[in-house]
Structure formats: structure tokens, C-alpha cells
Amino acid sequence: MDSEQYLQLFVEESNFYNHIVLGTLLPARVWEPLPHFFQSWLRNYIGGVLLYLLSGFLWCFYIYYLKRNVYLPRDAIPSNKAMLLQIYVAMKAMPWYCALPSISEYMIENGWTRCFSRINDIGWLGYFIYLAAYLVIVEFGIYWMHRELHDIKPLYKYLHATHHIYNKQNTLSPFAGLAFHPLDGILQAVPHVIALFIVPVQLTTHLGLLFIEAIWTANIHDCIHGKLWPIMGAGFHTIHHTTYRHNYGHYTVWMDWMFGTLRDPLDDGSKKEI
Ligand SMILES: [Zn+2]
Ligand SMILES: [Zn+2]
């Protein structure tokens, strides 16, 4: 198989996703005439909006209504107005966020990255080794991107401050997970794209990891501390929203621990008790 044919596998895969999402939800005459890039963008956009709203509503319904007073004290429950404002900010940014995976798919389909299509092309051992390397790049990249968004003052003022108006428990909710300035959200996801140029990753896996990212960011804004070391869950991220100087990290406590910015919610709790 020559390289042109190989790249065609990526196009076929993204066409397959476009047909599933757009073919199910929109009449063919609306999306079929669009160029391939915009079809993929529209699929990412519709998928992103549905994922954000459905997972957010279900999660809020569960923690604030069905399990009221179980996970959170009553005064920590955000008002509907606060949540609607977060949805508004996220919805305004969503068309821009979706440009990122659309551009990364474009680069993959044109052979600019080190992506591969089928796990058999590389073998399971190689797949997992490269996946681990990809995740390390993402952990490192997101930590530093986030930290610089705080340390470089104009970046904080004009971009990241939008996300930090939620600075108390009762102003945070899963909907805050994507409530960023559009450029801020994109910058924090850029390490996923940079990683494509450094290590070989499977296209499906890359898209799956971006998908998980959207769920994860909702989860770390629900203020429920999971206590699952070394995962950097909501307990850690709530501290980030109140001190601004700790817990910049992503999935794990690793980077904050290594670079000296870790603050553990359990330590905070024990100090309060004393
Ligand atoms: Zn921050
Ligand atoms: Zn946050």
C-alpha cells in the first residue's frame, strides 16, 4: 500500500464518523454538499455540544438532585443561574474549540503527523508504549500551558480569567468544565496536537482521548473529591480555583508534585481540623 492509499484510510475513518453523526441527525442535503473539512468540523461541533450538554445535565441531575446532600452540602450547590451562565460561555466557545480537532484531522489526513490508522500497523506493544509517551507529553504540556496562562499576566487577564470567575464551591459545576475563553480552551488542548508530531498515535485513539478530555474536564469541576491517588480529581481542582497557585495539572498529580505546586485537599482538611 503506497502512502496515498494509506492516507485514504484516515479520510475513510473520518467519513465514517461524519456519516454516523451527521447522517443520523441532519438531512443529507444540509451536510453532504459541504467540503470534507467542514463536514468534520460540523460533526465535531454537534458531537461536542451533545456530549457537553447531555453529560452535564445527567451529572448535575445525579449529584444535585437524586443524591442531594450525599456528596455535597446544600450550600455548595450552584444556582441555576450560575450554571446557565457557564453553559452560555461554553456554547459561545464551542464552535472555536471544534476547530482544533478538525485541523488536527486535516493534518493527519494529509500525512503531516506521525499518526497511524490500524493497531496492526505497529503491534500492540508499540501501541501501548507510544500511547504512554503521548500521555506523558499531554500531562507535561497541559501543566505548563495552564501554568503559563496564570504566570504570563496578559494571558491570564485576557484569556484565563474568564474561567476563574468561578472561585467558590457554589459557583463551580460540571458545566464550568468547558467555560473558557475560546482561545484558552484551544491552547490547553494544543498538547494533544503537538504530541501527534512527536509520537505515532492511532487516529481513533487520538479522537477518543479528546472525547475523554471533555468528560474529564466536567468531572473535575463538580467539587466532589474522589480520593483516588494519583488521580488529580475535583478535590484538587477546586483548590486550583480558590488559591490560583496550585494544582495546574491534568489527569494526575505527577507534574504538580514534580514542579512543586501540588496541594492535597486531604492536607487542607487535616489542617482545618487542627
Ligand atoms: Zn487556572
Ligand atoms: Zn477549572
Q: Mean per-residue pLDDT for 222-250?
A: 91
Give the C-alpha separation, 35 to 151, whole Å: 40
Contacts of 189 (CB under 8 A, 6+ apart): 97, 100, 210, 213
Closest ligand to residue 219's CA: 2
Ligand minimally distant from the alpha carbon of residue 148:
1
pLDDT of residue 273: 40
CA of 254 to the centre of ligand 2 (A): 18
Query: How far, in Å, from the CA of 178 to the mean position of ligand 2?
Result: 8
For the segment 66-104, what is each residue's pLDDT rounded down to a tens digit?
888 788 887 788 889 999 999 999 999 999 999 999 999
Give the single-character DSSP code of 178.
Answer: G
Residues above pLDDT 70, as percent of the chain: 98
How many angstroms is it from 37 CA to the middle of ligand 2? 30
Measured from the alpha carbon of residue 146, the closest ligand is 1
pLDDT of residue 77: 87
CA 17 – ligand 2 centroid, Å: 30
Ligand found nearest the CA of 161: 1
- The closest ligand to the CA of 167 turns out to be 2
Residue spans per domain, the chain? 3-270
Q: How confident is the model at residue 269 (pLDDT cuts 50, 70, 90)?
A: low
Give the DSSP letter string of 45-67: HHHHHHHHHHHHHHHHIIIIIIT
Element (H, E) at 233: none
With 0.85 as the threshold, say if the pTM is over it: yes
Ligand having the closest approach to the CA of 238:
2
pLDDT confidence tier of residue 272, bands split at 50, 70 and 90: very low
User: Residue 268 pLDDT more than 80?
Assistant: no
Distance in angstroms (rounded) separating the CA atoms of residues 264 and 233 = 10
Question: Separation of 164 CA from ligand 1 center, angstroms?
Answer: 7
CA–centroid distance, 187 to ligand 1, in Å, is 12
Specify the pLDDT at position 130. Answer: 97
Average predicted confidence (pLDDT) for the chain: 92
For 218-233, write each residue's pLDDT tens digit: 999 988 888 888 999 9
What is the 18 CA–ligand 2 centroid distance (Å)? 31
